Amino acid sequence: MRTSGRAVTAMVVAIAAFLGSQGDEWDAQKDILCDTLGALCASVVFLMATGRIGKGST
């Protein structure tokens, strides 16, 4: 079974449109980076609020 170049191109465009990347191939990686940084910041704030870090405690 042979697939024409146009069909492959149309399929790639349809997949990109479905995923919503809008031409940014690093979109998923940027999302993961922002999620990780947000989790780290939230963890630091939580630990400071509960007194587990800061205030010179060991």
Task: Give the Cα separation of 46 and 42 in Å (integer).
Answer: 6
Residue 10 lies in a domain: no
Q: Give the C-alpha distances (Å, rounded to integers) separating 18 from 5, 13, 15, 29, 30.
A: 20, 9, 5, 17, 18
pLDDT at 50: 94
pTM equals: 0.57
Residue 48 lies in a domain: yes
Residue 58 lies in a domain: yes
Residue 11 lies in a domain: no
pLDDT at 36: 98
Residue 50 lies in a domain: yes
Q: How many domains does the chain fold into?
A: 1
Residue 44 lies in a domain: yes
- Domain with 53 in it: 24-58
Task: Give the Cα separation of 22 and 25 in Å (integer).
Answer: 8
Q: What pLDDT digit, counting tens, does each position of 6-50 carry?
A: 888 888 778 777 776 667 888 889 999 999 999 999 999 999 999
Residue 15 lies in a domain: no
Give every CB contact of residue 28 below 8 A, 6+ residues apart in sequence.
21
